[in-house]
Chain A
Amino acid sequence: MDSAALEPSLYTVKAVFILDNDGNRLLSKYYDPELYPSMKEQKNFETNVFNKTHKADNEIAFLEGMTIVYKSSIDLFFYVVGSAQENELMLMAVLNCLFESLSQMLRKNVEKRTLLDNMDGVFLVVDEIIDGGVILESDPQQVIEKVNYRADDNPLSEQSVVQVLQSAKEQIKWSILK
């Protein structure tokens, strides 16, 4: 399977997913209907990938015949999956764009709580980067402009103070745990 040349095609990305630090799915999209068609297979794959990758920040792995590039941030793991023959750097371009866009949108607070608070924006960002497996945009600046999403401004109300504290606590917690 490995030596067969790649059929020229725009369909580069097989799947993309974001997991938390327990390996739970926060967002995932599978673009190839033949790859893990059922939810159970998808979750199995995600668990397997998570188990093999969460300990060391290695950027790239090869599992179940798929090339997987990944990146972690505080309590989040971002994965982009492509076929074994795919150009690894193209997958990296997608991963970087995803990460940079989210980082900008979330004002550098790339951690679970902020991500979930702005989940609508996250869905839109992923939608602007990949459409049905085709790389739609690779420049984070463009993505942010297209999505035109404003993360909650958090005017200093009493509720947001609690939130700020909460997020600070979490960050401290994870820096201790690392």
Chain B
Amino acid sequence: MIDRSILMCLGSGSNPFQHLEKSAVLQEARIFNETPINPRRCLHILTKIIYLLNQGEHFGTTEATEAFFAMTRLFQSNDQTLRRMCYLTIKEMANISEDVIIVTSSLTKDMTGKEDVYRGPAIRALCRITDTTMLQAIERYMKQAIVDKVPSVSSSALVSSLHMVKMSFDVVKRWVNEAQEAASSDNIMVQYHALGLLYHLRKSDRLAVTKMLNKFTKSGLKSPFAYCMMIRIASKLLEETEGGHDSPLFDFIESCLRNKHEMVVYEAASAIVHMPKCTARELAPAVSVLQLFCSSPKAALRYAAVRTLNKVAMKHPSAVTACNLDLENLITDSNRSIATLAITTLLKTGSESSVDRLMKQISSFVSEISDEFKVVVVQAISALCQKYPRKHSVMMNFLSNMLRDDVSSSKDGGFEYKRAIVDCIISIIEENPESKETGLAHLCEFIEDCEHTVLATKILHMLGKEGPRTPTPSKYIRFIFNRVVLESEAVRAAAVSALAKFGAQNDDLLPSVLVLMQRCMMDSDDEVRDRATFYMNVLQQKQKALNAAYIFNGLSVSVPGLEKSLHQYTLEPSEKPFDMKTVPLATAPITEQKTEIAPMATSKLPEKLAPSRQDIYQEQLAAIPEFQGLGPLFKSSEPVQLTEAETEYVVRCIKHTFANHMIFQFDCTNTLNDQLLQRVLVQMEPSESYEVLHYVPAPSLPYSQPSSCYSLVRLPEDDPTAVSCTFSCTMKYLVRDCDPNTGEPDDDGYNDEYVLEDLEVTVADHIQKVLKPNFGAAWEEIGDEFEKEETFALATVRTLDEAVNNIISFLGMQPCERSDKVPENKNSHVLFLAGVFRGGHDVLVRARLALADGVTMQVTVRSTDENVVDVILASVG
């Protein structure tokens, strides 16, 4: 044991700046005015001032200005260090003192003087206090300095110029020749800085950048920093031009893999790995240098290598398998970041048998790693669960341990990473029915002590959805009701909704749920009371259809759309009650699981709630006077290409469906820079009894500026089953030739036309996807009044997966209850689809599939309208 008091006395006083008082220091600064100047003392005081500024001490404008002006006297001294500290003070005070330009002449003198030690720093200080107007005055000196033979002077001038590009691009641009000259300097730093400045001046001109690259790749560079810069420029250029990997730029990057500096080799390998569309063969050399780095004694290099390999493993796990042995050696690395990255990489590349071992290894130190890396681990596990569903129990235990440990270690923070865990558990539950009960139990335990409202509500929603359908739903009630007693308003409201779902699904639980609801009706919060009262009344009716409509499957309309419609309704008072069917439907959320989440994807930007694509179209179409009175937009299709990729004109079509009409939006792009197209429209010849009512041409279509024209078509009214139709399309326009450089068109033009591919309208265009979270309840709700059933044989389809995908894309309906995923090794499957037909009729499809030689399919359709049932069956057949 060391005596504490000795430690104390050793510790204090070791920092001469510890108890500095700003006012005392400024007082001391008065000796700047004494003659003769005492360099040592002045130096000490300047150091104190800079130290204070660095500690975040606030200097008022007046006191700062006073000190600054006193400091200017010190230029009379010739002490080198003192002068250098004056430059530093000028830079530090440039923003807080007034009239800093007073030192301009002193600095200009130093910058052009004989003392080389002063020149570089003087340039940097001068540029710090110079603005655009004054820059012109020193332009001559700057140009000279850039090409000065003393490297420090040249570097200083180049870097300062770079800083000023943001402020006075036009002035600095005139120094490009000098920068060019400096780029051939023998000094490695000068070369690097010159290259950087040149790129910033030329980056908008792709041709100039290409020339610059060509020049330096041929002559070679001395500086490894400059090489790194060149690699970045080259890969950016490759990406922009979408150059193939036979391009000389790619060759250059690849040649850098053999550079003698590790920094350059790594930069090149990383550039190759980050290229989109890189094949395994092109990756191989990059991966092998990274593999070498894995055994480097330098931690930074090992880290860099394994981090980059981790990225490769996400897209090309097989390319990294060769490094498995090296990665194994890293899982015990004392740097936990490296170990974590190595393990998560192995989890992606390794086999199922290694999972248990790796998980054990990582759980030994998971508490030591930073939150950023915990997220990486969770994401790796999430991906793993999809790959090896059988391992879910190991994963689930691991995740719940992570949740539990963290709750005890830190109360605050860790949100990102807890959310990642919760998301991961939820996705396991959804993917894997066997894991449902354990997963729900872990989640229940977590919300007992969860300080994040967002997570608690999310879990409660999940419990409400899945809990009632487990064998023993009653055990979840306690956890949910605890929330009603203990938590904030938002969580209590979510708990009430979850309770209602238990009551609606399980008759034997209903009485108890009603009692609990009764208590919630006394809540202090409006929302909680409202929900409780509402559910109470619905539940007391004991009607399956009501339960289905109001408890299990909520609103299917788009919320912004509903808001807009209601607003419109209040503006125009009418006798009629508000009709929900006039509200545009919410486009079903895209439920594609993003498995390729980049590690460390901890973007700090709050997610913006963007208006949906359909809401945007609705706005755009409503702005066109010809399209008034069509009612709400029902559905907008994905764009369909009507031309080949590399043609003169590129046209794609988006089909907008309304109650009785369709609008075809043609997005046209003119790829010829010597033509201006005017009055562009697409003429359509329908094959069925569709009627083209109106064309809205695009007034003008200049080179590479997309523009849209529209066609309005009326759907056949007399025959509601005519849902599919083929249109032959021709684009008609007036061509005016123009000068490719100026874009100036000739005075007269000529009419021309261009034949496009045929456009198909199918049954999917008439159906909007709607997700029914509880399909069974919805099925009962609609009833069998208009039920029809038919059996089909799909001879050409070989697997159940293929059949399921075909049906979904053909009908354009939303698969429910995750029935779009066919379990492995099964010979039969049931697919549930839900949607709304044009005009607002709910339609549900149940397709039983059986696999024999081909696939046999029994389709049962239920809807609120008989025609719709016929349409669906007719189109399937």
Contacts and interface: CB of A to CB of B under 8 A. Distances in A.
A59 interface: yes
Contacts of B196: 9-10, 134
Interface in B231-251: 232-233, 235-236, 239
A15 B55 CA distance: 15
A112 B334 contact: no
Interface string B202-246: 010000000000000000000001001100110110010000000
Contact of A88 (B16, B54, B303): B303
Interface string A105-147: 0000000110011011101100100011011111000100011
Given A60-B303, A63-B370, A93-B263, A84 B189 contact: no
Nearest to A95: B300
A1 B10 contact: no
A62 B304 contact: no
B162 to A, nearest CB: 6
Contact of B47 (A59, A89, A93, A120): A120
Contact of A1 (B229, B233, B601): B601
A54 interface: no
B50 A123 contact: yes
16 contacts: A2-B311, A8-B236, A9-B196, A60-B337, A88-B303, A116-B14, A120-B47, A123-B50, A124-B88, A131-B160, A134-B193, A137-B189, A138-B225, A146-B120, A147-B84, A177-B2
Contacts of B193: 10, 134
Contact of B85 (A42, A43, A92, A123): A123
Nearest to B189: A137
A173 B228 contact: no
Interface string A1-24: 111011111100000000010000
Given A56-B334, A148-B80, A8 B232 contact: yes
A164 interface: no
Given A1-B601, A120-B47, A173-B7, A127 B88 contact: yes
Most chain B CB atoms below 10 A, which of A65, A88, A137: A88
Contact of A8 (B88, B155, B233, B604): B233
Contacts of A113: 14
A170 B373 CA distance: 36
B372 to A, nearest CB: 6
Contact of A146 (B16, B17, B117, B200): B117
A164 to B, nearest CB: 14
B364 to A, nearest CB: 15
B263 A87 contact: yes
Interface of B: 2, 7, 10, 14-17, 43-44, 46-47, 50-51, 54-56, 80-81, 84-85, 88, 91, 117, 120-121, 124, 152, 155-156, 159-160, 162-163, 189, 192-193, 196-197, 199-200, 203, 225, 228-229, 232-233, 235-236, 239, 262-263, 266-267, 270-271, 274, 298-301, 303-304, 311, 334-337, 370, 372-373, 598-604
Nearest to B91: A127
A149 to B, nearest CB: 6
A59 B88 contact: no
B85 A62 contact: no
A113 B12 CA distance: 11
A41 B189 CA distance: 33
A156 interface: no
B189 A60 contact: no
B372 A65 contact: yes
B377 to A, nearest CB: 13
Contact of B236 (A5, A63, A170, A176): A5
Contacts of B160: 131
B334 A88 contact: no
B2 A132 contact: no
A7 B196 CA distance: 12
B236 A7 contact: yes
B54 A124 contact: no
Most chain B CB atoms below 10 A, which of A2, A3, A113: A2
B55 A25 contact: yes
A58 interface: yes
A146 B300 contact: no
Interface in A66-125: 69, 84, 87-93, 112-113, 116-117, 119-121, 123-124
Contact of B159 (A136, A146, A177): A136
A171 B13 CA distance: 15
A132 B160 CA distance: 9
A89 B604 contact: no
A62 B193 CA distance: 28
B225 A62 contact: no
A132 B163 contact: yes
Contacts of B197: 10
B300 A88 contact: yes
B105 to A, nearest CB: 22
A60 to B, nearest CB: 5
Contact of B16 (A1, A117, A123): A117
Contacts of A87: 228, 263, 266-267, 270, 304
A42 B422 CA distance: 31
A10 B229 contact: yes
Nearest to A25: B55
Given A89-B304, A90-B225, A123 B266 contact: no
A75 B750 CA distance: 82
A1 B200 CA distance: 23
A127 B86 CA distance: 13
A2 B715 CA distance: 48
Contacts of A8: 199, 203, 229, 232-233, 236
Nearest to B333: A58
Given A89-B263, A112-B14, 13 more contacts: A2-B598, A5-B274, A8-B236, A58-B335, A84-B600, A116-B14, A120-B44, A120-B46, A120-B81, A124-B84, A124-B88, A137-B189, A170-B14
B159 A132 contact: yes
A29 B56 CA distance: 11
Given A112-B14, A120-B81, A134-B196, A58 B334 contact: yes
A161 interface: no
A134 B200 CA distance: 13
B755 to A, nearest CB: 40
Given A43-B56, A148-B117, A116 B266 contact: no
Interface string A155-178: 000000000001001100100110
Nearest to A27: B54
Nearest to B262: A89
A51 B239 CA distance: 40
Given A25-B54, A90-B228, A131-B159, A65 B2 contact: no
B226 to A, nearest CB: 10
A138 B271 CA distance: 23
A46 to B, nearest CB: 11
Contacts of B304: 87-89
- 7 shortest A-B CB distances, which residue pairs? A10-B196, A39-B56, A59-B299, A8-B232, A2-B598, A89-B263, A58-B335
A3 B274 contact: yes
Contacts of A137: 152, 155, 189
Most chain B CB atoms below 10 A, which of A39, A87, A121: A87
Contact of B598 (A3, A58, A136): A3
